[in-house]
Amino acid sequence: MSSKKLIIIKLLTAVLIITALVISARSFLAHRNYKETVVAGPSVTEVKTLGDYFEPIKNTVADCNIYILDSGKPGAIFFVIGGTHPEEPAANLSAEILAENATLEKGKLIVAIRANRSASTVTRPGDAYPQFYTIKTDWGEKKYRMGDRWTNPLDSWPDPEVYVHYPSKQMLAYMDIRNFNRTWPGKKDGSFTEQVNYAFMQIIKQEKVDLFIDFHEAELEYPVISTIVAHESGRNIAAMASMMLTDMEFEKPISMEFSPKSLHGLSHREVGDYSDAISLLFETPEPFLDRVRGITDEHLLLEGKDPFVQRAGEFGLLYETIDEDGWPIEVRVGRHCSTALMVAQIWNQMNPGKEIKIKNVPKYAEIIKNGVGHYFKNPANMDSDRIYYE
Ligand SMILES: [Zn+2]
């Protein structure tokens, strides 16, 4: 080949690569900067940000909104977070339903929708994840960022060879230094994600939180699924809630299990150990996360139907059942909302005089009937001072 031809081929290759880089960079940037709208509900008295509780976080990518729903009447203080793992959409959608709808008649509810905000600004193209998903509402479609399990490497890089958890010194997988549910209780001068957890611990302490709830979803191949994981301080509430929900509300059971004492960095362990709050973690099934899944798209994410996962179930390889109805988002969000309400109801029975009264949050059956989007208000009809961005 002549040297002239070679130069032309090299130039063409360079142009192709640069074009691909520009196209993908634009799409990554649009995803990272996309803003989700939240309409603050009737009981939201104040919207703080994480940086209000720990100054170094202020105005960084980690500085998520903290919605305060205060009844003005003394009672229990609950703190509910979604978005620990932003590839688990039922978690942030359930938290958003609380922030937009809950009416507090006694006590206080604090809500974070995008707890690890950085992890919601990156997704997993290598695993064919969609960048966005949309939820149908009564007034149109609402678009959300699909996130990842880990903090964005743009914000936290490089990972260590081995991640040594603070303060237990337990050695964990290297990438879990970016896993918001392996870095509790956090570290003031630690890694990016450890500082985010530290800031959340400041909320729990400064707001004197009585009970903390961390929403999650899990693959059906994983044994911790359809359950409430409870710190020992919350075992009675979790046991009662799982029995009541299984008996009265859910079509498929929800169990409870104890937080292992020797496994560190998880909210159900460290929040209970390092604060006065009872700590609970809820899991719903998300077939999208299963390794054996087929086409990884928005349909699978929201409808939870997959023939390959179903087939794995026929071979007894799963820890939760799945049929042709799948695990749609309404079922998953419905389970989270009802479980949170049931926990509040049982807390109230156990703590007379220090109740929390949460009204207008839809339960499991209602969300299945009306859809998740039915509970999101149209920002176009709202005063601008009620609108916030995640
Ligand atoms: Zn999770």
pLDDT tens for 11-33 read 999 999 999 999 999 999 999 99
Determine the distance separating the centroid of ligand 1 and the alpha carbon of 220, expressed in angstroms: 13
Q: What is the pLDDT of residue 16?
A: 96
Q: Is 235 a domain residue?
A: yes
Long-range contacts of 220-223 (CB under 8 A, 24+ apart): 220/285, 220/287, 220/290, 220/309, 220/312, 220/313, 220/318, 220/319, 220/320, 220/322, 221/290, 221/291, 221/292, 221/312, 221/317, 221/318, 221/319, 222/289, 222/319, 223/319
Determine the distance separating the centroid of ligand 1 and the alpha carbon of 282, expressed in angstroms: 9
Q: Is 2 a domain residue?
A: no
Determine the distance separating the centroid of ligand 1 and the alpha carbon of 60, expressed in angstroms: 23
What residues make up the domain containing 263? 34-389
Give me the mean pLDDT over the 117-127 stretch: 95
Determine the distance separating the centroid of ligand 1 and the alpha carbon of 82, expressed in angstroms: 10
Q: What is the pLDDT of residue 332?
A: 98
Positive or negative, the Cα torsion across 226, 229, 234, 235?
A: positive
Q: What is the pTM of this model?
A: 0.97
Residue 1 has pLDDT above 80, yes or no: no
- Give CA torsion, residues 312, 317, 323, 325, to 10 deg: -90
Q: Is 361 exposed, middle or buried (CB count within 10 Å of its CB: 0-12, 13-18, 19+)?
A: buried
Q: Is 24 a domain residue?
A: no
Determine the distance separating the centroid of ligand 1 and the alpha carbon of 88, expressed in angstroms: 6
pLDDT tens for 315-359 read 999 999 999 999 999 999 999 999 999 999 999 999 999 999 999
CATH number at residue 318: 3.40.630
Determine the distance separating the centroid of ligand 1 and the alpha carbon of 216, expressed in angstroms: 4
Q: What is the pLDDT of residue 279?
A: 98
Q: Is 17 a domain residue?
A: no
Question: How far apart are the C-alpha atoms of 251 and 230, rounded to whole Å?
Answer: 22
Q: Is 115 a domain residue?
A: yes
Determine the distance separating the centroid of ligand 1 and the alpha carbon of 30, expressed in angstroms: 25
Q: How many domains does the chain have?
A: 1
Q: Is 3 a domain residue?
A: no
Percent with pLDDT over 90 in the chain: 99
Q: Is 176 a domain residue?
A: yes
Q: Is 225 a domain residue?
A: yes
Q: What is the pLDDT of residue 2?
A: 83
Residue 33 sits at the vertex; the CA angle it makes with 32 and 39, to the nearest 5 degrees, is: 115
DSSP SS3 for 38: strand
Question: How far apart are the C-alpha atoms of 149 and 133, rounded to whole Å?
Answer: 16
Determine the distance separating the centroid of ligand 1 and the alpha carbon of 232, expressed in angstroms: 20
Percent with pLDDT over 70 in the chain: 100
